[in-house]
Structure 1
Amino acid sequence: MKRILNLQAKRPLAALLGLLPIVLLIVVYSVASDMRLKANPSDKLLPSFTQMSDSMQRMALQPNQRTGEYLFWVDTAASLKRLAYGVLIAAALGLFIGVLTGSIPLLGTTFSPLLTIISLIPPLAILPILFIVIGLGELSKVALIVLGITPFIARDIQRRTHEIPSEQLVKAQTLGANTSQVIIRVILPQLMPKLIDAVRLSLGAGWLFLIASEAIASTEGLGYRIFLVRRYMSMDVIIPYVIWITLLAFLIDWLLAKFNQKLFPWHKSGDQR
């Protein structure tokens, strides 16, 4: 008799088991929504799927009477633009800092304590400082994402750099490579797929900082819209927006995974070994 610890589901069953909790959640929500709406048709806490669909059609398919814009798509474009800028800048800075502090011992000894301290500062705590110093424009929102996830990426890249076998570095230097050549030709190629993995892991935090900054000071964006309609208890808008953010996060993560697999197929096979 097999222990539960050793049981594994094959592909068809695994897909079914993966969908089961989602289906159950939808069913439970539907039943709870019907019960509340029957007791109080004007209840806003648990809107029906029809109400949410009508709200999304109004937001996504009908132009706003005041601005003529399709608010749902304007919000999505604004948030994705801020997230993309923030993550790209953070990835570049994290790679630069992580490689230098991880490959050059003197730099690592000098700056690693500072990097650790910075990584422990709650980024949301310095958001008011960013607004005071930078202002309420787009730069402050991007800066919060950069400050929030750069230390994480840098520390991860630093640790990955330390994992590179020292034999490779010694062989490269024995063949006459200088410091910059070792970094560019030996270290960087091995770290690029790990950088994408680090970015994937930091995306959740990136979304958190984005939504927080949009909620406080913005005129468009997914986070801005959620916190704008909350004062009216418009759950028929809030819930679809939250679901949309989740779908976007999942899609970006999936695309990065496929991109990583396409560019660095050896990385996945190496992990499996």
Structure 2
Amino acid sequence: MKKLMNITPSKPLTIFLSLLPFIVIFFVYWTASAERLAENPNDKLLPSFSQIYNAVDRLAFTENKRTGEYLFWQDTSASLYRIGMGISISALSGLLIGILTGLIPLARSGFSPLITVLSLIPPMAILPILFISFGLGELAKVMLIIIGTAPVMMRDMQSCVRQLPAEQLIKAQTLGASTWLVSLRVILPQILPRLLASMRLSLGAAWLFLIAAEAIAAQEGLGYRIFLVRRYMSMDVIFPYVIWITLLAFLMDYLLRKTSEKAFPWYHSIESSK
């Protein structure tokens, strides 16, 4: 008899097991919502699926009478721009500083302690400072994402560079490669897949910082809309927005993973063999 730890489910069973928790959540919510609405038709805590559908239709597919825009897509565009800018700048700075401090001992001695300290500062604690320093515009929101994710990426890239076999660097120098050439031809190709993995791991924190910034000071955005309607207990709006944010985060993670698999198949073959 096989031990439980050695049983691998078939593909149909894997699909069923992956969908089962969502099906259970769906029916639990449907049952609880029906019971609450039966007792109080004006209950807002657990809106029915028809109420959620009407809210989505109103926000995503009906023009706002005041602005003539579709609020749902306007919020989505604003949030995606902010998180895209923040994650991109964090990734670029993490790559450059990580290579610099990982390869050059002088740079590591000078910058590594500072990067460590920055990575330990709670970004939410300095949110008021960012708004005072950069105002209430886009810069403060993007800076919060950068401050919250860039130092972690820098440390990750530095660690990745330092873990590369020393023999590779020695052989490259023996063949006459300069520090710049070693960085470009030896180090960069090997840490790019790790950079994409680091971006994937930072997505959750980036969305958290974005929503917090939008909730405090914004005129549009997914986080702004959620905190705007919470005072009215509009759960029929909040639930779709939370689900949409989760879906966007999942799609971003999926695209980064697929990009890494297509561009660096050797890296994933090594990972799967471990």
TM-score by length of 1: 0.98
Which residue in 1 is equivalent to 2:53?
53
Structure 2 residue identity aligned to 1:10: S
For structure 1, the 5+ residue unaligned runs are: none
Structure 1 residue identity aligned to 2:137: G
SS at match of 1:151: helix
Which residue in 2 is equivalent to 1:12?
12
**Higher mean displacement: 167-176 or 2-11:** 2-11
Encode CA deviations 1:177-218: one digit per residue, 9 max, x unaligned. 111111111001111111111001100000000000000000
Which residue in 1 is equivalent to 2:67?
67
Rounded to whole Å, the distance in 2 between the matches of 1:111 and 1:76 is: 37
- What are the residue-to-residue correspondences of 1:236-255 with 2, within 5 Å? 236-255=236-255
Find out whether 1:226 has 2:238 as its counterpart: no
Find out whether 1:36 has 2:42 as its counterpart: no
Encode CA deviations 1:107-147: one digit per residue, 9 max, x unaligned. 11222121111101000111100000110000000000011
Rounded to whole Å, the distance in 2 between the matches of 1:104 and 1:49 is: 58
Structure 2 residue identity aligned to 1:221: G
- What are the residue-to-residue correspondences of 1:54-203 with 2, within 5 Å? 54-203=54-203
Find out whether 1:25 has 2:25 as its counterpart: yes
Percent of matched pairs sharing the same residue: 60
Rounded to whole Å, the distance in 2 between the matches of 1:15 and 1:160 is: 35
Equivalent pairs, count? 273
The Cα shift of 1:106 comes to 2.0
RMSD: 0.8
Encode CA deviations 1:203-239: one digit per residue, 9 max, x unaligned. 0000000000000000000000000000000000000
SS at match of 1:145: helix
Structure 2 residue identity aligned to 1:129: I
Structure 1 segments, 4+ long, off by >3 Å, are none
**Higher mean displacement: 99-108 or 236-245:** 99-108
Rounded to whole Å, the distance in 1 between the matches of 2:154 and 2:3 is: 42
For structure 2, the 5+ residue unaligned runs are: none
Structure 2 residue identity aligned to 1:134: F
The Cα shift of 1:2 comes to 2.3
Rounded to whole Å, the distance in 2 between the matches of 1:115 and 1:5 is: 42
